[in-house]
Structure 1
Amino acid sequence: MSTRAVLEVIALGVEDAVAAQAGGADRLELVTDIAADGLTPSVGTFTAIRAAVDISLRVMLRLRDGFAAGDVEALVRAARKLRAAGAEEFVLGFLAEDGRPDLGTVERLAVELDGCRWTFHRAIDRAADRDALRKQLADVPGLDTYLTAGSPDGVDDGLPTLLAEAGRGGEPGYTQRLLVGGGLRLDHVPRLRAAGIDAFHIGGAARPNGWDSPVSAEAVRQWRTALDG
């Protein structure tokens, strides 16, 4: 029997969070500024959402658009404040200019997170060499998930990569869970589930009326039903 798939939904605020949980989400990714592809939310937003729902929350650590870390000390301070407020799971991912992982920043933040679980986000889809990145990050403490579409252009383009990586589970660098997101549609789900992929991430798909509207519990429920089917 297959395990229940994880459904993660992007939440910008309390209204999103409550609707996502009502629709059957297992976890939320908390961000602000979706125009910049999601930046670190305020501590106030985190605490309000934490008080409103009881599912897992992964909080974005990213202070600027793009995949360069920028001010690392500011990232460390943000992580510290969020941890002090009770955050226990995070999302991060930085690349150097040559497209290799920014190991210095990632390792510095992993030390700050001190065993908290975290996702390396879609920076992997912009990496110069995905396989090398995964092997370089294999032993960084806390890393348990890669959020990826398999391609910078989304799941349609990245499907062969996702299916190939799903088949490498257990190899060095491939023990982390694949969380598929980025242009993900319901019609992708059967092939991904058949390959053993068991975690899915939606943002716009949870908002039928666009990013200016809140998450729809009904839209999330449709995904929950598809994943459970």
Structure 2
Amino acid sequence: MDLLIKEACVENLTEAKNAERLGASQIELCGRLDLDGITPDLSLVEKVLKGLSIHVKVMVRPRAGNFVYTEKEINVMEVSIEFLKSMGVQEIVLGLLTDKNEIDIPSTEKLVELAHPIKVTFHKAIDKLDDPVKGVRQLMEIPGITAILTSGGKPTAREGAPVIRQMILAAEDKLNIIAAGKITNENLLEIDRLIDADAYHGKLVVGI
């Protein structure tokens, strides 16, 4: 299990430090996990960057709810990205869709280009698509996106395992597919046998 890449989803400094202590490979820092995560407070980002030695990803999401954003909301995301870049954040996590439930390619390209040279993970917004595998192929064409977080369009990684495996095949080693969805330190090995993903994500992936 120690060889698996474990990404802990956290929302405060205590959780972040506990995740590192318990063996997390990296963290995704969010605000308001009760709302499935939004952009965290910048003061918290600063404390986590100073307090941890492992890789830190930061969520860029201006509000809870769907992933169809107005121009004003996209502008807010741009400002967040600029601040996070200036703070030395290593990677951001975002996801944008159209009102037709497809990836918003132009807006995604715009934000990923702005983030450069920071890496970008496209988050579970991809699970809203009718065909997440098609989404993988589209995201592969956007330089700067290096990973996709997904539960295969299902509530849990176990349920979404067949689709996640298809997404891994579609990614052709060009994108890392990070499996998510009720993954804990107790079921991680079982899920890994089902999926054999590049990494695993969860609030309890290391037992915090």
Structure 1 distance, partners of 2:144, 2:196, is 22
Per-residue Cα deviation, 1:148-171 (whole angstroms, up to 9, x for no partner):
11123222321111233334452x
Structure 1 distance, partners of 2:193, 2:201, is 14
Q: TM-score, normalised by structure 1?
A: 0.81
Shift of 1:195: 4.7
Mapping for residues 1-229 of structure 1, pairs under 5 Å: 4-65=3-64, 66-70=66-70, 71-170=73-172, 175-185=174-184, 186-187=186-187, 189-193=189-193, 195-203=195-203, 205=204, 219-220=207-208
| TM-aligned CA distance change 1:194 to 1:150, over 3 Å | closer
Stretch deviating more after TM superposition (126-135 or 32-41): 126-135
**Contact persistence 1:33–1:39 (CA under 8 A):** yes
Secondary structure of residue in 2 paired with 1:145: strand
| Percent identical residues | 24
Structure 2 distance, partners of 1:111, 1:53, is 27
Larger radius of gyration: 1
Shift of 1:101: 0.2
Unaligned runs of 5+ in 2: none
Equivalenced residues, count: 204
| TM-aligned CA distance change 1:100 to 1:106, over 3 Å | same
Shift of 1:56: 0.5
| TM-aligned CA distance change 1:201 to 1:164, over 3 Å | same
Structure 1 distance, partners of 2:75, 2:146, is 24
Residue in 2 that maps onto 1:209: none
Secondary structure of residue in 2 paired with 1:9: strand
**Contact persistence 1:31–1:40 (CA under 8 A):** yes
Shift of 1:190: 3.2
Structure 1 distance, partners of 2:166, 2:133, is 11
Structure 1 distance, partners of 2:45, 2:79, is 15
